[in-house]
Amino acid sequence: MVHQNTVSIDWVNKHLEDSSIVIVDCRFQLGAPEAGRTLYDEGHLPGAFHLDLEQDLSSPVGQHGGRHPLPNVDELAVKLGSLGIDGTKHVIAYDEGGIMAARLWWLLNYMGHPGGASIMEGGYRAWGEAGFPTTSAPSTVITSTTFVPQIDTSIVIHIDELRHKLGQPGVLLLDSREAPRYRGEIEPIDPAAGHIPGAKNVFWKEGLDNQGNWRSREEQQARFAAVGAKDADEIIVYCGSGVSACPNVLALREAGYTNVKLYAGSWSDWVSYEDNPIAIGEE
């Protein structure tokens, strides 16, 4: 059984025929909801299946809960089982930049998947550039099975609990968005600009190098030490909608932190409540 949060394209290429592995293509483009499936149809890793951020890995948008609410666990479990994923299978997720694959990685951790999950470093682009095999043929499920969720509520936090913990000693709140959005200088998606009061900014993409590979444990430790993670009793991570925060959750895990929670609704949920405070600038 694999016990790594990330694996290299070389490792995946060597294990394409491994029956204990299920590969999932998570490519998706915000603003172009059909693009991910189109890219998959044009070419994907041999044997890979496709799961869509909005159709499979999120629930429908409501008044609250953010732009990408957590999916219905029972519905996602049925989808995973239909791909042959049960507790004996290790899932390899990939995309183009790390965000969507990290969403599936986090969801599988949240659902207590005993087989574990890893993200393929470098994504589909690196795979193609290495000359590894691709196909446009749809993948066939050899045997559908039953995925049994075992929800781990310790790694997620929702609005009421976050409000209660805001500003408490020992609680570190991390905003994973780009600095201009964190500071409230721009906001291209959500109805209000700024950040949750008290949050520190650690842009998720800084956890990867220029080749799309995850930085070393020491580099990840340095990123989070700079904002006081070593002194925190609890680290709460958020972004715009709970998706791009997942790479930071993984980076924190790689850095050795186990006291990490994802604010699932994130900024888009926070600003859906008119009485929630908003901060501007650096903190």
So which residues are the catalytic ones? 239
Helical (H) or strand (E) element with 22: strand 21-25
Token pair listed for 40:
């998959």
Under 8 Å between Cβ of 24 and 124: no
Q: What's at 108, amino acid-wise? A: L
Write out the two tokens for 141. Answer: 């499920």
Name the phi and psi angles at 141, rounded to 5.
Answer: -75, 120
196 within 8 A of 267, measured Cβ to Cβ: yes
Take residue 145 and report the two structure tokens written for it: 């099975």
- C-alpha to C-alpha distance for 164 and 237, rounded to whole angstroms: 16
- The strand pairing partners of 201, in sequence order, are 175
Q: Which of 103, 102, 280, 106 is nearest to 199 (CA)?
A: 280
